Chain A
Amino acid sequence: MGATGIIFRREFRAYTRSPMGYIVAAVVLLLDGILFYAVALGPRAGQLLSGQALDRFLYNASGMVAVAAVALSIRLIAEERQTGTLLLLDTSPVRDWEIVLGKFLSALAFLGAITVATLYMPLMILVNGKIAVGHILIGYLGLICLGGAVLSIGVFATSLTRHQLVAAAVASVITGTLFLFSGMAQVVGAPLGRVFAALTIHGRHWAGFGSGILHLRDLVYYAALTYFFLYAATKVMEAKRWE
C-alpha cells in the first residue's frame, strides 16, 4: 500500500472516531428522510409520478451532499496545520499529491457511505412505483460526482489556511458561486449565459443525472473540476511546505 492508501486509512478511521463524522451523517440522513417524506410519503404523495418523485428526491439529496462535502472536507488539512501534525507528513518521504489524494479519497469514501445509506428511500419508490434501476444508479453516480467535486473544492480551501472556519467560508463561497452560475445563466443572455451554464456545478450538469440520463459531458465536467481543485490543493501544499 502506498502513502495514499496509508493516509486514506488513517483519515477514514478519523471520521469514524470523531463526533464530526457522525454528526454530518446523522444530519444528512435526517434531512434527506424529512425531504423524502415531504416528496413521496406526505400528504402530497401521489401528486407526482414515481419518476418525478425520484428526480425531486435526488435534487434535494444533491444539495445535502454538497453541504456535507464542505463540512467533511474543511478539517482535512487545516486541522493538521493547526495541531502541528502536518509536520509529520511534511518531513516524511511522502509527496504532496499523495497527501491530497489520500485525504480526498477518505472524505469521498465517507461521503459515499453516507450517500449509500440513503438508498433505501429510492428503493421504496422502486418497489411501489415505476422507475428504472438505472435511474437510481445514474442519480447516485451524479451524487458521488457532485460530492467529489465539492470535496475537492473543500480540500483546496483547507489547504490554504490553518483555520477551519476560514476554510469553510472559502469552500462555501466557491461552491455557492458555482451553484449560482446556474441561475445567472438563465438571467444573462448569450454568450455569457452559455459560459455560466457550462461552468455551473449544478443546473445543466446535474439535470441529466437527476432524470436518469448519463451524459459524458457531465462526467467530464465533474472529473475536470475535481482534478483542477485537487491539483490546486497540491500546488498550495508544495508552496506552503517550502515557503
Chain B
Amino acid sequence: MVQLTEVTKYYGRKRALGPVSCEIEKGDTVGFLGLNGVGKTTLLRILACGLRPSSGRVRIDGLDVLQDPHEVRKRVGYLPEIPPVYRDMTVRDYLAFAGRIKGMTPEAVARRIPEVEERARVTEVADMPAGHLSQGYRQRVGVAQAIIHEPELLILDEPTHDLDPVQIMEMRGMIRSLKDSHTILISSHILPEISQTCDRLLILDDGEIVASGTEEELGEMLLQSRRVAVTVREGGGEENNGSAANEGAAMVIGRIPGVIGVRRSDRGEGAIEETGTVTFEVECKTDLRAEVCRVLVENGYDVIALARAQRDLERVFVGLVGRERT
C-alpha cells in the first residue's frame, strides 16, 4: 500500500527527515512513534501529499506522489494534529464541503454524511457550528472528514492530541473500529496510544526509522529481559499473615527458573489498585506469565491480575531514542 524509498526532507539546510525506507501492507495499522520534533509530522504530510520530499520516492497504492498527487489525494484521508475544521460552518455543512472538495458527487455526499456522522459519533452536534464544539468533538469531526470519501489509506497525526482521558478512550475505540476498512498510519509520542491501537510500530529518532516490528518483536530484539506484573491477594500462601505472606509470594516467584528478580511495585504498570492486594514486578529472561501464575496458585496464592509490564515497551523506546522522555 505504501512504499517509501530513501525519502528525505530538508528545511533549508536542516535535515528534518530521512533517509527513510519502509513498506506498509494493505490493511495494516502502523504506528509512528517518536519524541516531538523527530520528523513524524513531516513524514505523514509527505504521505498525505501535503509536502514534497527533498529526495527519494514515495508510492501509495502504486502511484507516485510526485507524478500523480491528484490521484493519490483521492486515496488518502488525513487528520492533521490540529483538525482542519472551519469554525464558521456547521458540522454537516463542513462534512459536505469536505466530501465535495475530495471529489464526491452531491448524491454520494448526501448518502455518506449520515454514515460518517454515526461512525465518528457526531450526529448529535451535526447542526452546531464547529467553532462551538469541544476539542474532543472537533477531533472526531476531523476524523469524519478524513474518512468521508472512503480512502484506502487513513493518516492520523497525533489523533489524541489535547484530549481528556475519556475522549482518548473514545478515540482509541473509533480507530479500532476503522481498522477493518482502512490501512491506518498513526503518529504519536505517547506509547500507549500506539501500542494499544497498532499492529506494528515504527520508531523514529532524528528523522530516521531506528526500529520496526510488533511490540513483541521489538521486545525480543532489544530487551535483555522481560517484565511481568502480577497482583495477588494479601495474606495468601502458607504464611497467611500480612508482610510475611507477601515476602513468601516474592520468594515463591523468585524460585521459578528464568526469573532474574522480583520487587514489590504497588504502582507498577499492570498493577491494580485495590485494598488487600499486592503487586510484584517480575523481571525474567523470557515471558514467564504462565509459570508465575501456576506456581503462585499451587502455593495457595490468589492471583488477581497478571500482565506484561507496559514499561517493557517504554524501555525499548527510551533505549532506542537514547534519552528519557520529559
Instruction: Judge whether B101 and A242 touch: CB under 8 Å.
Output: no
Q: How many A-B residue pairs have CB under 8 A?
A: 63
User: Which among B87, B88, B101 is the interface contact of A7 at CB below 8 angstroms?
Assistant: B101
Stretch binding the partner chain, chosen from A27-35, A82-90, A172-180: A82-90
Q: Given A88-B84, A89-B101, 13 other A-B contacts at CB below 8 A?
A: A3-B101, A7-B101, A10-B89, A85-B84, A85-B85, A88-B145, A90-B49, A92-B73, A93-B71, A93-B73, A241-B50, A243-B51, A243-B52
Instruction: Judge whether A87 and B73 touch: CB under 8 Å.
Output: no
Bound: A90/B45 CA distance, A: 10
Bound: A86/B80 CA distance, A: 11
Query: Interface residues of A toward B: which range?
Result: 20 to 34
List B residues 79-94 near A (Cβ within 8 Å): 80, 82-89
Q: Which residues of B contact A44 (CB under 8 A)?
A: none
Instruction: Judge whether B97 and A91 touch: CB under 8 Å.
Output: no
Bound: A86/B100 CA distance, A: 15
Bound: A14/B93 CA distance, A: 12
- A interface, over-half SS: helix
Q: Which residues of A contact B185 (CB under 8 A)?
A: none
Kindly state whether residue B258 has any CB partner on chain A within 8 Å.
no
Instruction: Judge whether B70 and A86 touch: CB under 8 Å.
Output: no
Instruction: Judge whether A84 and B84 touch: CB under 8 Å.
Output: yes
- Interchain nearest-CB distance for A230 vs B (Å): 20
Kindly state whether residue A117 has any CB partner on chain B within 8 Å.
no
Instruction: Judge whether A87 and B78 touch: CB under 8 Å.
Output: yes
Kindly state whether residue A94 has any CB partner on chain B within 8 Å.
yes
Bound: A94/B73 CA distance, A: 9
Contact bitstring A110-153, B, C-beta under 8 A = 1, else 0 = 00000000000000000000000000000000000000000000
Kindly state whether residue B74 has any CB partner on chain A within 8 Å.
yes
Q: Which residues of B contact A90 (CB under 8 A)?
A: 49-50
Query: Interface residues of B toward A: which range?
Result: 20 to 34
Using a CB–CB cutoff of 8 Å, the interface residues on chain A facing chain B are 1, 3, 6-7, 10, 13-14, 17-18, 83-95, 241-243
Instruction: Judge whether B101 and A84 touch: CB under 8 Å.
Output: no
User: Which among A13, A18, A84, A91 is the interface contact of B82 at CB below 8 angstroms?
Assistant: A84
Using a CB–CB cutoff of 8 Å, the interface residues on chain B facing chain A are 45, 48-52, 70-71, 73-74, 76, 78, 80, 82-89, 97-98, 100-103, 145
Q: Which residues of B contact A242 (CB under 8 A)?
A: 51-52
Bound: A29/B217 CA distance, A: 70
Instruction: Judge whether A91 and B78 touch: CB under 8 Å.
Output: yes
Q: Which residues of A contact B82 (CB under 8 A)?
A: 83-84
Instruction: Judge whether B73 and A91 touch: CB under 8 Å.
Output: yes
| 15 A-B pairs whose Cβ atoms sit less than 8 Å apart in the complex | A1-B100, A6-B100, A17-B88, A18-B88, A87-B80, A91-B48, A91-B49, A91-B50, A91-B73, A91-B76, A92-B103, A93-B70, A93-B73, A93-B74, A243-B52
Given A92-B73, A242-B51, A242-B52, the answer on whether A14 and B88 have CB atoms closer than 8 Å is yes
